[in-house]
């Protein structure tokens, strides 16, 4: 049995349990330590996030500085970090783990390498450190993060960030002959054959064309206007249907055209030229610039093209897989007559004469064969007789590859362009091949002896062959001054045309057949033949050089020109 005191105590306890007054203060007292801990974690987390963003921004800025000055990337990165007051720096070599504790230090790793924007490669593998052909910089920064409240609970944090920036410099390159002066008769005959109509260029017209360089994108914008193509990209323009008359009209409409140039270009405005389709994609390759909208190219890249070279490259591309025949008559001094037949091999789809791009960009000349039938008046015992020389020329594609573009201080004035040029294999043959074998550029023709002299009394058969086989590429370096001056560099410095022609004549294998009594005539025929051919060698050299120059090639040589360069803007890629 309970006492009155016990009952009173129970009553008071029941009243206390039922009383709700002061609960908030009680709960606050119990929760205050947890709330303070959570607040400390939140404040520290926000502070660390903001600190990491600041360090990431410094890594981004320094990586961009390094990519813009790729040849002295480490110096540029460290200067950027110091200018932005990151604090004391410790530069580490590649392979160091940035998460390794190093109290109070800013650990920086600077790596140069190659970045390829290839969508098929995982993002983390697109930057490959090392190598000599660098275009990107990766900067990694690690440092101690600051905890203001929670260091006792969670320890000292580490901040590690990385940034990759790339700058892709580009150059515009072309391959072929920067034409020297040609005789008007030979030039007009060859151009007439290529266009399908008679061309009457004067010496002044020719010089105006040869001396004229126009802005590449200024020309393309004018061409788009000629085609009434005001929207779209330059890639759309290269795929459009273009005829030679559009090309010449666009060249005349560019800002750099002169009255003399416009007059010379007007010579091409013929019915045949208007119908001659020019596959621009076989002549020009614009790389990433092809995706720019029409009208935007000039602001992105400053490059020029030679008007004469562009027209000739267009004509060669338009006549791909066609056979041209030109009768030069007696227009070549020293030769009685000369007839030229040319077969232009169909180039591959990416075998362009002019290209704008980065490392790996290729330009090529077209593969071709030419047969030159030459008549020479004999001398000595051959006086009054015609000596006929069927000379075959075969040129494989000469090519040039853009290997490297560097800008030491990120400016065009310090640009250096490296190109590997490989001259085409050239051969001259004096002999006889069937027309079908000559026209088939997929296989070498088989030659036999040619009938050089054919009279009832004297018959002379002969054959000879000479070859230039420059198989290894030659490295060419173009400075900014070379580019500004429009300098052409040739992979061979000797006059191979003369040496080939002389070799051809000197190695001639001759068979003399004389009807009736010989009376020592065989020796006299050989002597007279040697004298006549030796005297004709300069004229043959000149004719060969002129024919091939119009087609943009030279025997065993490749002429390379860099017509523009941009150092590229350094951008973040990772």
Task: Output the pLDDT for position 185.
Answer: 65
Answer yes or no: is pLDDT of 476 > 50. yes
The token pair at 74 is 């480490």
The pair of three-digit structure tokens given for residue 479, joined into one six-digit string: 């400075």
Q: pLDDT value at position 461?
A: 85
Mean pLDDT of the chain: 78
Task: Taking residues 298-324, report their average pLDDT.
Answer: 79
Q: How confident is the model at residue 470 (pLDDT cuts 50, 70, 90)?
A: low
* Tokens of residue 256, six digits: 């750099």
Share of the chain above pLDDT 90, in %: 1
Q: What is the pLDDT of residue 348?
A: 46
Pairing of strands 571-572, 158-166: antiparallel
C-alpha pair distances (Å), 418 with each of 343, 400, 423: 33, 10, 16
pLDDT > 60? residue 373: yes
How far CA 46 is from CA of 53, 150, 183, 564, in Å, comes to: 11, 12, 80, 50
The answer to whether the beta carbons of residues 237 and 216 sit under 8 Å apart is no
Residue 437 has pLDDT above 80, yes or no: yes
Question: Which pLDDT tens digit goes with each residue over 193-226?
Answer: 777 766 767 767 777 777 778 888 888 998 888 8
Mean pLDDT of 340-345: 78
From residue 385, alpha-carbon distances to 176, 331, 451, 516, 518 in Å are: 39, 20, 13, 18, 18
Who has greater pLDDT, 394 or 181?
394
Cα–Cα dist 161/141, whole Å? 5
Q: Give the confidence band of 477 by pLDDT, cuts at 50, 70, 90.
A: very high
pLDDT at 349: 47
Count how many residues are written for the chain.
Answer: 574
DSSP 412: G
Token output for 264: 């010379």
Domain ranges of the chain: 32-118+127-166, 184-323, 332-560
Inter-CA distances, 8 with 12, 15, 18, 23, 166, Å? 6, 11, 15, 24, 86
Percentage of residues in the chain having pLDDT higher than 70 = 79
- List Cα–Cα distances, 528 to 5, 296, 409, 520, 539, in angstroms: 156, 66, 66, 13, 18
Nearest CA to 176 out of 331, 395, 27, 463 is that of 395
Q: How far apart are CA 462 and CA 61, in angstroms?
A: 73
Mean pLDDT of 276-304: 84
| DSSP structure string for 5-66 | HHHHHHHHHHHHHH--TTHHHHHHHHHHHHHHHHHHHHHHHHHHHHHHHHHHHHHHHHHHHH
CA–CA separation, 97 vs 101, rounded Å?
9
Distance CA 305, CA 30 (A): 83
Distance CA 557, CA 553 (A): 7
Burial class of residue 526 in the structure, from the number of CB atoms within 10 Å of its CB (0-12 exposed, 13-18 middle, 19+ buried): middle
Where is pLDDT greater, at 152 or 341? 341
Phi-psi region of 31 (alpha: psi -120 to 50; beta: other; left: phi over 0): alpha
Q: 191-222: b or e for each residue (b if 16 or more CB lie within 10 Å)?
A: bbbbbbbebebeeebbebbbebbbbbbbbbbb
User: pLDDT tens-digit profile of 530-555?
Assistant: 788 878 877 887 787 778 777 777 77
419 — pLDDT class (breaks 50, 70, 90): very high
Assigned token pair, 180: 């020297």
Mean pLDDT over 423-449 rounds to 82
Query: What confidence tens digit (pLDDT) does each residue in 316-330 have?
Result: 777 766 677 777 776
**Per-residue confidence (pLDDT) for residue 497, from 0 to 100:** 46
Task: Please tell me the distance from the alpha carbon of residue 182 to that of residue 125, in angstroms, as a whole number.
Answer: 54
Where helices occur in 166-231 by DSSP H, the ranges are 184-195, 203-211, 216-226
Range with top average pLDDT, 54-63, 145-154, 403-412: 54-63
């Amino acid at each position: 049995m309970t006492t009155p005191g016990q009952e009173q105590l129970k009553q008071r306890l029941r009243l206390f349990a039922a009383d709700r007054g002061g609960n908030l203060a009680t709960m606050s007292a119990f929760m205050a330590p947890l709330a303070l801990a959570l607040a400390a974690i939140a404040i520290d987390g926000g502070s660390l996030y903001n600190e990491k963003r600041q360090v990431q921004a410094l890594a981004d800025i320094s990586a961009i500085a390094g990519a813009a000055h790729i040849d002295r990337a480490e110096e540029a990165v460290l200067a950027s970090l110091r200018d932005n007051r990151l604090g004391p720096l410790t530069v580490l070599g590649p392979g160091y783990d940035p998460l390794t504790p190093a109290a109070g230090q800013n650990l920086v790793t600077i790596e140069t390498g190659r970045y390829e924007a290839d969508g098929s490669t995982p993002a983390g593998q697109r930057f490959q450190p090392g190598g000599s052909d660098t275009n990107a910089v990766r900067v990694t920064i690690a440092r101690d993060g600051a905890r203001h409240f929670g260091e006792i609970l969670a320890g000292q944090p580490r901040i590690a960030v990385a940034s990759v920036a790339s700058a892709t410099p580009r150059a515009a390159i072309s391959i072929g002959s920067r034409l020297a002066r040609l005789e008007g008769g030979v030039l007009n005959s060859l151009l007439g054959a290529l266009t399908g109509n008679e061309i009457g260029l004067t010496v002044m017209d020719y010089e105006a064309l040869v001396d004229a360089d126009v802005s590449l994108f200024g020309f393309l914008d004018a061409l788009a206007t000629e085609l009434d193509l005001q929207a779209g990209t330059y890639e759309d323009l290269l795929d459009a249907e273009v005829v030679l008359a559009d090309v010449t009209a666009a060249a005349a409409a560019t800002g750099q055209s002169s009255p003399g140039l416009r007059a010379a270009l007007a010579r091409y405005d013929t019915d045949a030229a208007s119908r001659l389709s020019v596959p621009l994609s076989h002549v020009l390759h614009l790389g990433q610039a092809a995706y720019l909208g029409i009208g935007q190219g000039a602001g992105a890249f400053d490059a020029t093209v030679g008007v004469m070279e562009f027209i000739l490259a267009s004509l060669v591309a338009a006549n791909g897989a066609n056979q041209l025949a030109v009768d030069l008559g007696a227009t070549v001094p020293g030769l009685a007559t000369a007839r030229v037949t040319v077969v232009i091999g169909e180039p591959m789809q990416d075998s362009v004469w002019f290209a704008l791009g980065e490392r790996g960009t290729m330009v090529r000349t077209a593969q071709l064969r030419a047969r030159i039938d030459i008549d020479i008046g004999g001398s000595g015992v051959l006086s009054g007789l015609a000596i006929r020389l069927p000379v075959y020329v075969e040129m494989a594609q000469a090519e040039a590859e853009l290997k490297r573009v560097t800008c030491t201080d990120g400016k065009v004035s310090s640009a250096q362009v490296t190109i590997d040029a490989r001259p085409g294999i050239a051969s001259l043959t004096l002999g006889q091949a069937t027309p079908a074998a000559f026209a088939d550029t997929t296989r070498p023709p088989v030659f036999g002896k040619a009938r050089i002299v054919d009279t009832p009394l004297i018959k002379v058969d002969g054959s000879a062959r000479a070859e230039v086989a420059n198989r290894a590429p030659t490295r060419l370096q173009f400075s900014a001054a070379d580019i500004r001056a429009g300098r052409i560099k040739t992979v061979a410095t000797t006059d191979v045309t003369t040496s080939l022609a002389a070799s051809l004549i000197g190695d001639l294998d001759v068979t003399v057949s004389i009807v009736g009594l010989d009376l020592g005539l065989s020796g006299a025929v050989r002597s007279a033949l040697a004298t006549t051919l030796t005297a004709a060698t300069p004229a043959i050299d000149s004719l060969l050089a002129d024919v091939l120059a119009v087609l943009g090639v030279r025997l065993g040589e490749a002429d390379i020109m860099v017509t523009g360069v941009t150092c590229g803007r350094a951008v973040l890629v990772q």
